[in-house]
């Protein structure tokens, strides 16, 4: 097999670490071009040395001296700052994994898209906040987007060889998170430790809280709308506590295709790394007999209104999805800091959306401005609590 080149934007995060684990297991098949991190200079330098990267970039320029020191004598180029991230993302590579968390990943992801290559997209904010702008850039450049999120990757796999006009419905599955069976009274008393204790997936605190509120699924609904434009009314959410079926596609003829697998992000990442082929992974094999049964439930938008808020935001269009995402980040951070109750997260997002009406973003700068305004308004509302 020919050696392929790869850049990983967000190499020290959970997605980046999982991708590098797969690259490490197939070291002779990959040449690493660029690795980036926000501030973990020592960890980034160690990875750049291990994989022989051409360049290592820290987003925070203050960490550049530490990165240079750690890379001394290695021959790996060191750089820092937002512009350096974009330049690294623009370097030719067979595959660029966009896994920088938050809006800090928007500009580098767009830089990679403009080059017209293949981008494995793991940055949720890219499509939630800048979906229309980003998909227009994909159309102009001819870039290929491969979705890394387990649900969207599952849909991508189920659609293989089929046209969108043959699709009746797309179903995103949701585990329901650790609080799925909590009563409204119990939800009001939830602690951060309870909210981040996901029963199936090993994720960071923010995304774990999003899973607990169901906002994660709301954000994925918006992403699916951009990735697979079948119409909002044809995209559904279904709670599936076992996290075995990652999503489903129903076709016009009544056939439904589902993608099944263990709750391990290396499965969808491997799908992107090897596309359009397959590769071996060390993931636990699926044992349906041991699992015993699969169950499904309709979402409860009374206790968990986040999916409704996301659906209404994408229906409204304009900057509403960017504001939704920004306000949610402020609300989740406040909950994790003990400032607000778990049940205050969704109302704070709703109040921010009600308070702002921003023109439809036409450029990435417009998206970032809407994001900043959403954060400011959410923070102001938080101070009133």
pLDDT in tens, 138-150: 999 999 999 999 9
Residues 171 and 253 in one domain: yes
Statement to judge: residues 100 and 174 lie in one domain:
no
Please state the domain count of the chain: 2
Same domain, 136 and 186: no
Domain end marker among 114, 147, 180: 147
Residue 93 sits in the same domain as residue 194: no
Range(s) of the domain holding residue 49: 4-147
- Whole-number Å distance between alpha carbons of 180 and 183: 9
87 in any annotated domain: yes
CA neighbor of 323 nearest in space, from 304, 342, 336, 309: 309
Give pLDDT, residue 207: 86
The whole-angstrom separation of Cα 196 and Cα 199 is: 9
CATH of the domain at 343: 1.10.1740.10
Q: What is the mean pLDDT of the chain?
A: 95
Q: What are phi and psi of 144, to 5 degrees?
A: -110, 125
Compute φ and ψ for 100, nearest 5 degrees: -75, 130
DSSP assigned state of 356: -
Q: Say what percent of the chain tops pLDDT 90.
A: 92
Choosing from 95, 123, 147, the residue where a domain stops is 147
Taking residues 116-130, report their average pLDDT.
Answer: 93
The reply to whether 265 falls in a domain is no
For residue 57, list its beta bridge partners: 36, 79
State mean pLDDT over 118-147: 95
Residue that is last in its domain, among 113, 147, 181: 147
CB atoms within 10 A of CB 51: 21
**132 and 186 both lie in a single domain:** no
Note whether 272 and 266 are within 8 A (CB).
no
* 62-101 exposure pattern, b = at least 16 Cβ within 10 A, e = fewer: ebbebbbebbeeeebbbbbeeebbbbbbbbebbbbbbbbb
* 182 and 103 together in one domain: no
pLDDT at 62 over 80: yes
**Strand ranges in the chain using DSSP code E only, listed in sequence order:** 4-9, 30-37, 55-58, 77-80, 95-98, 118-121, 144-147, 167-174, 235-239, 245-251, 256-260
What is the per-residue pLDDT across 165-215, written as a single tens digit (0 to 9) for each? 999 999 999 999 899 999 999 999 999 999 998 777 766 788 899 999 999
Whether 1 shows a pLDDT value over 70: the answer reads no
pLDDT tens digits along 230-278: 999 999 999 999 999 999 999 999 999 999 999 999 999 999 999 999 9
Query: Which CATH number belongs to the domain containing residue 35 in this structure?
Result: 3.40.50.720
Read off the pLDDT of each residue in 65-76 and give the average, rounded to a whole number: 97
The pTM is what?
A: 0.94
Q: Are residues 328 and 236 in the same domain?
A: yes
Q: Which two tokens stand for residue 293?
A: 């049964």
Q: Which residues touch 32 (CB under 8 Å, ≥6 apart)?
A: 5, 6, 7, 8, 23, 48, 51, 52, 53, 54
| Cα torsion angle, 4, 99, 368, 66, sign | negative
Within a domain: residue 38?
Answer: yes
Q: Given pLDDT bands bounded at 50, 70 and 90, which one contains residue 25? A: very high
What is the share, in percent, of the chain residues with pLDDT greater than 70?
A: 99
40 and 131 in a common domain: yes
Q: Examine residue 276 and say whether the peptide bond preceding it is cis (omega within 30 degrees of 0).
A: yes
Residue 11 and residue 56 in one domain: yes
What is the arithmetic mean of pLDDT over 285-311?
A: 96
Domain co-membership, 356 together with 231: yes
Residues 90 and 129 in one domain: yes
Is the same domain home to 116 and 198? no
């Amino acid at each position: 097999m020919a050696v392929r080149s790869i850049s990983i934007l967000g190499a020290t995060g959970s997605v980046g670490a999982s991708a590098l684990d797969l690259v490490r297991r197939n070291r002779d098949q990959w040449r690493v071009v660029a690795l980036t991190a926000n501030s973990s200079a020592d960890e980034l330098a160690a990875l750049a040395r291990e994989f022989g990267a051409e360049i290592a970039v820290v987003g925070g320029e203050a960490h550049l001296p530490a990165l240079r020191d750690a890379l001394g004598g290695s021959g790996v180029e060191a750089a820092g700052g937002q512009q350096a991230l974009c330049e690294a993302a623009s370097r030719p590579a067979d595959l660029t994994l966009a896994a920088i968390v938050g809006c800090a990943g928007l500009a580098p992801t767009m830089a990679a898209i403009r080059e017209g290559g293949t981008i494995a997209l793991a940055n949720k904010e890219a499509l939630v906040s800048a979906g229309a702008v980003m998909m227009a850039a994909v159309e102009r450049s001819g870039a290929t987007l491969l979705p890394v999120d387990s649900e969207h990757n599952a849909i991508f796999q189920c659609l293989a060889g089929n046209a969108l006009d043959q699709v009746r419905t797309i179903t995103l599955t949701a585990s329901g998170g650790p609080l799925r069976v909590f009563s409204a009274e119990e939800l009001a008393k939830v602690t951060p430790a309870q909210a981040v204790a996901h029963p199936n997936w090993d994720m960071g605190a923010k995304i774990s809280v999003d899973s607990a509120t169901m906002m994660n699924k709301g954000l994925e609904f918006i992403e699916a709308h951009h990735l697979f434009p079948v119409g909002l009314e044809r995209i559904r959410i279904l709670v599936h506590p076992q996290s075995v079926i990652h999503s489903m596609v129903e076709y016009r003829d009544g056939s439904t295709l589902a993608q099944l697998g263990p709750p391990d992000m290396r499965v969808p990442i491997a799908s992107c790394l090897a596309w359009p082929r397959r590769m071996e992974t060390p993931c636990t094999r699926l044992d349906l007999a041991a699992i015993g049964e699969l169950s499904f439930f309709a979402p409860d938008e009374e206790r968990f209104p986040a999916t409704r808020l996301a659906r209404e935001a994408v229906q409204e269009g304009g900057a509403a999805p960017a504001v939704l995402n920004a306000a949610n980040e402020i609300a989740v951070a406040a909950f994790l800091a003990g400032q607000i109750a778990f049940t205050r997260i969704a109302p704070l997002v709703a109040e921010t959306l009600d308070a702002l009406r921003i023109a439809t973003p036409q450029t990435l700068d417009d998206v970032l401005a809407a994001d900043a305004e959403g954060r400011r308004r959410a923070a102001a509302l938080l101070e009133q609590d």
